[in-house]
Structure 1
Amino acid sequence: MAFHARVPDFLGLGLLLDNAAPWMGLAVPALLLLAVASRSRTSLVVLLIPVFTWLVIFGPAIVPLSWSAPRTGAATLTLSSQNIKAGTGGAAQSALELAEDGSDVIALQELDAGSAQRVSTALEDVYPHHFVVGTVGVWSKYPLTNSQPLELGLGWKRALSTQVDAASGSLRLYVIHAASARPNDHVDRDEMLRQLAAVVQADPEENMMAVGDFNATSTDRAFKKISSILDEPNQDDGLLGFTWPRSPFPMMRLDHVLVRGLEVTSNTNVEAGPSDHLAVQTVVNLPGQ
């Protein structure tokens, strides 16, 4: 648990250990049973080592945000993001359900042929501003300016940046659908995350959000490149906020919201549409409020 990121990525072992790191704590109950069966006080004392290690590494991330979240300001922005799963035909359904949840900005990933247009048609009355690049798109109640596609070394574009100009303040928004990651096949994803980190670091904008399907967990060594620059808020009700797979139960958090210069008052997962990913929904105080 403590040194998983230092294990060489030989035959995909590093990737597997990185993503399994939080689940290693499940070994503690089994070790406890063995310690009790052995009737050894020394075993019980030694058992404190993995318990303490897990709490030090993952404990801060499972503390409920609601315990320390700043007070909601006079002007806020609610952003929702989801990988809608290509081929389900559910992009518009996801968008409408996220709109009903009170979203001001909706970011979608894994858009397939025709789905972006269906989303725009479904949302046009309330979300007249949108920008779509390849398989990613953003729909907003507020004007979007300085919108740009991002290649991030992939050879085709599945990321974007835009400025969300609300009446009470603006922020820079990055939306990404990182390349897939599998053992011995995650070079493209690693490069996209590396280049995203470089772009974000060079961006002088003080108020920023980066959202989407990063195809990386918070403990993935490739994700550290971007999470060392931007902050990921805890979940409202605590725990690690796993988003995939939606059924039978989430086991990994591949979908993230990262911020800089913004106060996060709420951060949670919500169900929307037929996707195999849960959506992430975050509320921030607009700058200057």
Structure 2
Amino acid sequence: MSALLEAPRETRDSSSRRSTRTRSGLAVLVCIAALGLAAVLGLHVLVPDLLGLGLIVDSALPWFGLAIPVLLVLAFVTRAKGAVIAALVPTVVWGVMFVPAIVPLAWSAPAASGDTLTIASQNVEADSGTAAESATALAASGAQVIALQEMDADAREQVEGVLSDSYPYSYGIGTVGVWSTYPIENAQALDLGLGWQRAIAADLATPTGLVSIYVIHAASARPGDHADRDTMLANLADYIPRDENDRILMVGDFNAGSSDRTIAGLTGQLSEANQTGGGFGFTWPASSPVTRPDHVLQRGMEVTSNTTLRVGGSDHLAVLTTLNL
């Protein structure tokens, strides 16, 4: 009889030991995954670009945060203090890297001054056939300056027909152009080392003095094929310390997300404001944005609002930014 009574106890003990081993194994996996995730987040610039891995990691970096809740849940399931602590490491790293950038600008934005400049920028996607529609909507936004990228000859002609009366000053070359209510001075095309022109530089003669403006349509970036883009952004960054104006605007389609290591040469010298309503402000693809290749970078001014909007049939959202001059 005693042997029969002992059997269930042995079964329970065996089951308990298996459960403990399972939780211990899971705790080890959580620790490895959490610390690995933290390393990728914090040291992503060291990830080699073999087969385009570096570009993929840089572009997807904000989305890695989706793994954190899963790790936290698994860590609590293991009941292991070490696993919980390990899961908190990428949580902190992700928070430090991205939370300051997604806090709503509206919480701290300065009041608009008597002299402001609103600039709208969009890659209009030449094949969309809706460049004129985009130009009409951006003009209705009240922007004093409109910068457009990826225009073919037909798109440029359509845009000119829409904007020429309200925006008497313009300059363009290749796939980029800028239309302004302020006089444009010292305009020039930039090839940025590629031998073909997808960028322009000019001065805007605003009521408070000159503001440098650069409009760029960077070369495409695909896994394993982004050398031309890298060259363009590196050469563009070299213009900043040589610019004689205290105030600079650099806008357009950079084909590099905010966390891309290649754009660091620009963002280390210029700033990009948070979104007025918070969030990452992703702009591509327009139907369901997952990254932000479109930027308004600036120096010497205060941003009072910064938003994205869908206009035309482009696969890029437009960016609309207002600054105190």
Partner of 1:123: 163
Match of 1:151 in 2: 191
* 2:284 pairs with 1:259: no
Describe the SS at the equivalent of 2:224.
coil
Structure 1 or 2: larger helix share? 2
**Amino acid aligned to 2:291:** M
Q: Distance in 2 between matches of 1:230 and 1:48?
A: 32
The answer as to whether partners of 2:147 and 2:252 remain within 8 angstroms in 1 is yes
Counterpart Cα distance in 2 of 1:264 and 1:39? 47
Q: Which has the higher contact order (CA 8 A, sep 6+)?
A: 1
Matched, 1:69 2:114: no
**Alignment partner of 1:274 out of 288, 310, 313:** 313
Q: CA deviation at 1:18?
A: 0.9
2:240 and 2:157 mapped to 1: Cα distance? 29
Alignment of 1:197-208 (within 5 A): 197-208=237-248
Give, in whole Å, the separation in 2 of the partners of 1:255 and 1:176: 10
Report how far residue 50 of structure 1 moved. 1.0
Q: Distance in 2 between matches of 1:59 and 1:44?
A: 21
Following superposition, the deviation at residue 10 of structure 1 comes to 1.4
AA aligned opposite 2:303: V
Q: Give yes or no for the alignment of 1:7 onto 2:85.
A: no
SS in 2 for 1:280: strand
Query: What is residue 98 of structure 2 aligned with on the other side?
Result: 58
Percent identity, aligned pairs only, is 52
User: How far apart in 1 are the matches of 2:319 and 2:44?
Assistant: 27
| TM-aligned CA deviation for residue 43 of structure 1 | 2.3
1:13 Cα offset (Å)? 1.0
User: How much does 1:44 deviate?
Assistant: 2.4
Q: Distance in 2 between matches of 1:192 and 1:201?
A: 16
- Corresponding position: 1:221 with 2:261: yes
Structure 1, gaps ≥5 residues long: none
Contact in 1 for aligned 2:72/2:88 (Cα 8 Å): no
Match of 1:222, SS state, is helix
**2:126 alignment partner, SS class:** coil
Out of 142, 151, 157, the position equivalent to 1:111 is 151
Residue 101 (structure 1) aligned with residue 141 (structure 2): yes
The one-letter amino acid of 1:72's match is A
Give, in whole Å, the separation in 2 of the partners of 1:268 and 1:72: 15
Deviation per residue, 1:104-143 (Å, 9 max, x gap): 1000000012211211111122111110110000011111
The answer to whether 1:190 aligns with 2:234 is: no
Matched, 1:246 2:286: yes
* Cα shift readout 1:157-189 (whole Å, capped 9, x = no counterpart): 010011111234331100000000111111100
Q: 1:38 aligned to 2:38?
A: no
- 1:32-55 deviations in Å (ceiling 9; x for gaps): 232233233432232211110100
The alignment of Structure 1 onto Structure 2 pairs a total of residues equal to: 285
Question: What secondary structure, in the 3-state scheme, does the structure 1 residue paired with 2:246 have?
Answer: coil
CA RMSD of aligned residues (A): 1.1
- TM-score of the aligned structures, taking structure 2 as reference length: 0.85
TM-score by length of 1: 0.96
Higher Cα radius of gyration: 2
Cα distance in 2 between the residues matched to 1:168 and 1:126: 21
